[in-house]
Amino acid sequence: MKKVMAGISIVAVLAAGTVAQADITIGVNLGSTGPAASLGIAEKNAITLGPTVIAGQKVNYVVYDDATDTTNAVQNVKRLITEAKADVLIGPTSSPTSKAVIDTVAESKTPMYQLSPNPGGSYDDPKRRWIFNAPPSEDVYAAALFKHFAKKGVKTVSIIAVDDAYGENCVAAFKRFAEKTGIKTLTIEKYKRSDTSATAQVLKAMQGNPDAVYIAAAGTPGALPHVALVERGYKGKIYQSGGSANAEFLRVGGKALEGSYMLASPVLAAEQFPDSYPGKKEALEFVKAYEAKFGTRNFFGSLAWNALKVVEAAVPKALKVAKPGTEQFRAALRDAIESTKGLKVAGAVITMTKADHTGINDLGMCLLRVENGTWKLEDHADFK
């Protein structure tokens, strides 16, 4: 199993071997290979941009790759907790791997900032009180989607969703909003991330000639049904969930993506927002730092960046309660993260509550249009 990227491999190994001397240990487990690699690689890149000192305390990172595999994810998280003695965990990348590690995290009483949407369940659950999620909730995504449906006169929709926790949550949120707005769902088709064809699902989705097709997938697998829809001559509107919002998706989908819509973070089109838009300044800060080292900006990289920003703001509060490396510090850090209020990060403003461990409202979501192989701002939340 691959451990980490070259840029921080030495730090990770030293941290694992001398954890007793470390001030603060951040354990990171990502899907930097496997089906979610186009997400995990960018997240791994962003971790290298994280702080090395917080509130005067040295920070060490221990980074593992779970290859987007649930068994690997559980094993890695156990190692980060028992061997590295992590004070806080970041990751996993995908919804299935995030869901798989919840019990392990809860038993250890270690706060975890997952880089996937909430894989399911209420934060009031004693297990999930230790879990925080960097992306907005599926309801925030759905609200932006249905707002655009209304503007474009969309009345009928077919859904093609990846058959995992992410797809299930997207579909559930879609159904909730469809019931409220009267949008008719013609069919819901599912496919596997590892599938090499989605022709059968596409043909069924096209029956009834829906006004729009909504594809709920994460990473490059979202391009599979999209390309097939275009090849089969579908002329309606195509929407992608935020899980596919990265440059690799644009590359794989190519010209077939032109004119389609994508739910996404303001980070991807930061320069196109009004200067007064909340989180724009911070989005540009991330873009400058990330692109200087890794090239094209990446929404998923911004999730890791934002998670580290929240942790960085929470650590000084936790240090007033206990020292790193202790159960008391981990509990105080969890409480401090949950008390985050009005923290501006890349493309969003985070305000946590006991019931909401994402802390992101509609200001952290926009709708983009693919034009000439790049992102163009289509719509954003109203703000004062």
- Specify whether 73 is located in the same domain as 191: no
Which three-class secondary structure state does DSSP give residue 265? coil
Q: Is residue 371 part of a domain?
A: no
- Omega before 278 within 30 of 0, i.e. cis: no
Exposure of 202 in the CB half-sphere (CA atoms within 13 A): 19
Predicted confidence band at 149 (pLDDT cuts at 50, 70, 90)?
Answer: very high
Task: Say what the pLDDT of residue 243 is.
Answer: 86
Number of structural domains the chain divides into: 2
- Specify whether 328 is located in the same domain as 305: yes
67: left (phi over 0), alpha (psi -120 to 50) or beta: left
CB count in 10 Å sphere of residue 227: 18
* Structure token digits, residue 125: 């659950």
Q: Read off the CATH number of the domain in which 313 is found.
A: 3.40.50.2300
Domain edge (last residue) among 205, 228, 263: 263
Task: Say what the pLDDT of residue 16 is.
Answer: 39
What digits encode the pLDDT tens for the residues 91-113? 999 999 999 999 999 999 999 99
What digits encode the pLDDT tens for the residues 34-73? 989 989 999 999 999 999 999 999 999 999 999 999 999 9
Q: Is residue 269 part of a domain?
A: no
Q: Is residue 372 part of a domain?
A: no
What digits encode the pLDDT tens for the residues 184-214? 999 999 999 889 999 999 999 999 999 999 9
Residues 364, 367, 368, CA angle at the centre, nearest 5°?
A: 120
- Specify whether 167 is located in the same domain as 55: no
Most confident of 3-17, 54-68, 110-124: 54-68
- Specify whether 142 is located in the same domain as 127: no
Q: Is residue 12 part of a domain?
A: yes
- Specify whether 129 is located in the same domain as 142: no
pLDDT at 18 over 60: no
Q: Which has the minimum average pLDDT: 42-51, 114-123, 206-215, 283-292?
A: 114-123
Task: Say what the pLDDT of residue 142 is.
Answer: 94
Task: Say what the pLDDT of residue 14 is.
Answer: 39
Q: Is residue 175 part of a domain?
A: yes
CA-closest candidate to residue 141, choices 160, 162, 167: 167
Task: Say what the pLDDT of residue 30 is.
Answer: 98
- Specify whether 162 is located in the same domain as 223: yes
Domain of 176 in residue numbering reads as 138-263
Predicted confidence band at 246 (pLDDT cuts at 50, 70, 90)?
Answer: confident
* Structure token digits, residue 120: 């399911």
Task: Say what the pLDDT of residue 384 is.
Answer: 67
Which three-class secondary structure state does DSSP give residue 165? helix
**Tokens 């994460």 correspond to what residue?**
218
Which three-class secondary structure state does DSSP give residue 120? coil
Domain edge (last residue) among 263, 290, 310: 263
Q: Is residue 148 part of a domain?
A: yes
6: burial class by Cβ within 10 Å (0-12, 13-18, 19+)?
exposed
* Structure token digits, residue 130: 């230790």
Cα separation, 357 vs 130, in Å, equals: 9
Q: Is residue 177 part of a domain?
A: yes
Kindly state the percentage of the chain with pLDDT values over 90: 85
- Specify whether 15 is located in the same domain as 118: yes
- Specify whether 116 is located in the same domain as 46: yes
Give Cα separations from 162 to 73, 198, 210, 222, 273 (angstroms).
20, 10, 19, 8, 31
Average pLDDT taken over every residue of the chain: 92
Q: Tell me the residue length of the chain.
A: 384
Query: What single-letter amino acid sits at 133?
Result: N
- Specify whether 84 is located in the same domain as 105: yes
Q: Which has the minimum average pLDDT: 244-253, 302-311, 346-355, 364-373?
A: 244-253
Q: Which has the minimum average pLDDT: 130-139, 242-251, 329-338, 351-360?
A: 242-251
What digits encode the pLDDT tens for the residues 270-282? 999 999 999 999 9
pTM for this predicted structure: 0.85
Q: Is residue 246 part of a domain?
A: yes
pLDDT at 141 over 60: yes
- Specify whether 293 is located in the same domain as 323: yes
Domain edge (last residue) among 263, 291, 306: 263
Task: Say what the pLDDT of residue 379 is.
Answer: 94
* Structure token digits, residue 185: 């769902």
pLDDT at 13 over 70: no
CA-closest candidate to residue 29, choices 340, 81, 305: 81
- Specify whether 166 is located in the same domain as 129: no
- Determine the average pLDDT of the residues in 60-88: 97
Q: What's the helix, strand, coil split of the chain in %, to 5?
A: 45, 20, 35
- Specify whether 303 is located in the same domain as 325: yes
Predicted confidence band at 119 (pLDDT cuts at 50, 70, 90)?
Answer: confident
- Determine the average pLDDT of the residues in 13-32: 68
Predicted confidence band at 6 (pLDDT cuts at 50, 70, 90)?
Answer: very low
